[in-house]
Structure 1
Amino acid sequence: MNGNFRDRWMNNTPGIYKLRIDELILPGTHDSGADREAPKMMMPNEITQDVPIRDQINQGFRVLDLRVELFSSQPVGHPRRFQLYHLTSSGRTVAGDVLGVLNEFYAVSGRENEVIILNFHQFKDFTDESHQELHDLIDEMIGHRLIPYSQRHLTLLELRQYYPGRNVVISYNRRAGDGYWPGVEQQWTGKNYISTSELKIFMDEASSRPKSQYTLRSIQCAKYTGLFVPDDFSDKVNLWFESRDGDSYIQGFHIINTDWSTRSNIVLNCMHANQFRAMTKG
């Protein structure tokens, strides 16, 4: 696929409309808010992405791993009250760098069928009240775009027919109302530092585990080097997840989260793989 169309690859993937959201094979970014261009300086072991979320979704990534810190020193309603963090804040905000960016993305014609999952994965210094504040912010800025959990049984075609303009899933790692989906089931080794071969062995085992219907599941294809900085093994990502046919290794997965995500071919491989997965639905 021409690189200029990665921003709308789901709209242009034959057969994908037959699949439900939880059946899709989707490229995701690990620690999505920890990018090299972030406004706050972070330590090298915190930086996992080359480009900000705006560029990640423009380049085809459809699942964002969001870790949110409450800055209670900022007044309620201030855009810097909810910031993204890894170990420390990157200075990226939920309001501007996630929700505002989504509205800009969908303002471009041809992107309305791109489904994006916001996985609110971790919360730092939160209270019950601040969770509600965050819900209110989400509702105010993108509430009209949300696909409620009650519609989890619908295929992409049915969503497009019955709920046009609804294209965002909120996956929230805490009991929540507002139609949010349960947190993504993350398959992770539990270790920051392992060898590439050990990671592959773990993924082999993870890919064989049955997934419950409607569950959003991700594989954490990420690790640190011996210097405890996020490792770039894009060559292995390209090799492991190359989509050739309906029996390719990538067919064992759903959401694939990586570091340095834009360096690999994972978006194109997911696009290709979804065509074969859709064939299994007739």
Structure 2
Amino acid sequence: MGSLVSKQVAKRKSLATEKKVLADLKATAGEDFPGSDYHPQDRKNWMSGLDPGKLVVDKIVWPGTHDSGTDRIGVPLVSRPFAQCQSCSIYNQLATGARVLDIRVQGDRRVCHGILATYSVDVVLERVKRFLAETQSEIIVLEIRTEFGKEDPPEFDKYLVEQLGDLLIHQDDDVFQKTVAELLPRRIICVWKPRKSPAPKAGDPLWSSGYLKDNWIDTDLPSTKFDSNMKHLAEQPPASARKYFYRVENTATPQTDNPILCVRPVTDRVRKFSRLFISQAFSRGFADRLQILSIDFIDEAFVDACVGVTHARLEGKA
């Protein structure tokens, strides 16, 4: 018992120290960056507002959501707080401005997070198609992967192609240098990451896992996550020199050695520093690496920050 208490006391001290590190950095360095004061008039149509004819894919800073399909997962007030990473629906995430979705599935085609499952992936696709039907020039990166420890849904690649059809932007390295207008009327870059099934091939309607990369670190310590994200971003080539998307996930994850296991209070430790992360990427000289930023519990300020940098790039200010 004494050893357990000692470990918890040490953990509390580490957490307090790491929170202070980021708070002090924010106080001294600030959160200003090119485009930090920009606010799109219509977040539902922010790509349209930036001129699809000039908006090149590799110049976009894409706002994304982490574990996007968890808004109704688990039992409310019982298991939901331990698995829910988004509180609003897929449609509302897109309407708020998200353009990258992270969907985990299991063998029966239900969306899941760990051991908990929720609605069918049909719900996700229906809401994506509804959003696209209501907009004209918004492009979405839809990542669907088989959850760790789960089986691939049978013939899932064929199912996705059947459901999304002409909306799919086919796997092609040239896409990164094209404008949004050049991709239209196709609207979805769908990255399918099976665990055992064959991966999509060059020219297929779906994209393989190598086109969406990240460096995930599983921690509930905010400065540790912030610094790891910054380190790995700095190691990437500029977005304009890549033939893949690189994602930074501004999230913190509950750990079993800590009594706080609910997602919201843990992820909020780093979530509120997303604008600071962008500011520091500029200050440290590698903001040209920024491409996809994802977050738990998406909000308008986060979307505005990503769109603001994109706007600054179009204006030649970033």
- Alignment TM-score, normalising by the size of structure 2: 0.71
What's 1:278 paired with?
Answer: 314
SS at match of 2:47: coil
Residue 114 (structure 1) aligned to one of 135, 138, 146 = 138
Residue 52 (structure 1) aligned to one of 78, 89, 92 = 89
The question of whether the paired residues in 1 share the 8 Å contact of 2:61 and 2:310 is answered with yes
Pairwise CA distance, 1:125: 3.8
What's 2:251 paired with?
Answer: 222
| Closer, same or farther: CA 187–38 of 1 in aligned 2, 3 Å | same
For each residue in 1:2-61, what CA deviation from the matched residue of structure 2 results, as whole angstroms up to 9, or x when unmatched?
A: 6771111011125883422x44211111111112x4475544221111111111011110
SS at match of 1:119: strand
- Aligned pairs for 1:65-104 (under 5 A) are 65-71=102-108, 82-96=109-123, 98-104=124-130
Pairwise CA distance, 1:179: 2.7
| Closer, same or farther: CA 216–200 of 1 in aligned 2, 3 Å | same
- Aligned pairs for 1:78-227 (under 5 A) are 82-96=109-123, 98-108=124-134, 111-123=135-147, 125-127=150-152, 130-132=153-155, 134-150=156-172, 152-153=174-175, 155-157=177-179, 160-161=181-182, 163-174=183-194, 175-177=199-201, 178-183=204-209, 184-189=212-217, 191-193=218-220, 195-211=221-237, 213-225=242-254, 226=258, 227=260
Pairwise CA distance, 1:236: 1.5
For each residue in 1:101-153, what CA deviation from the matched residue of structure 2 results, as whole angstroms up to 9, or x when unmatched?
A: 12111221xx22111011113346435xx342x22222222111000112644
- Distance in 2 separating the partners of 1:16 and 1:272: 18
| Closer, same or farther: CA 208–131 of 1 in aligned 2, 3 Å | farther
For each residue in 1:212-240, what CA deviation from the matched residue of structure 2 results, as whole angstroms up to 9, or x when unmatched?
A: 62111111211135413322144322333
- Distance in 2 separating the partners of 1:142 and 1:15: 22
The question of whether the paired residues in 2 share the 8 Å contact of 1:26 and 1:254 is answered with yes
Pairwise CA distance, 1:247: 8.1
Pairwise CA distance, 1:90: 3.9
One-letter amino acid of the structure 1 residue matched with residue 310 of structure 2: N
- Alignment TM-score, normalising by the size of structure 1: 0.79
Higher helix proportion: 2
One-letter amino acid of the structure 2 residue matched with residue 165 of structure 1: P
| Closer, same or farther: CA 155–131 of 1 in aligned 2, 3 Å | farther
What's 1:32 paired with?
Answer: 68
Structure 1: which 5+ runs fail to align?
Answer: 72-81
What's 1:241 paired with?
Answer: 278
SS at match of 1:92: strand
The question of whether the paired residues in 2 share the 8 Å contact of 1:218 and 1:255 is answered with yes
| Closer, same or farther: CA 89–152 of 1 in aligned 2, 3 Å | farther
What's 2:100 paired with?
Answer: 63
| Closer, same or farther: CA 58–192 of 1 in aligned 2, 3 Å | same
Structure 2: which 5+ runs fail to align?
Answer: 1-37
- Distance in 2 separating the partners of 1:269 and 1:16: 22
SS at match of 1:105: helix
The question of whether the paired residues in 2 share the 8 Å contact of 1:28 and 1:255 is answered with yes
Deviates more, 1:231-240 or 1:216-225: 231-240
Deviates more, 1:206-215 or 1:60-69: 206-215
| Closer, same or farther: CA 138–64 of 1 in aligned 2, 3 Å | same
- Distance in 2 separating the partners of 1:224 and 1:266: 19
The question of whether the paired residues in 2 share the 8 Å contact of 1:33 and 1:90 is answered with no
2:39 paired with 1:13: no
- Distance in 2 separating the partners of 1:145 and 1:68: 21
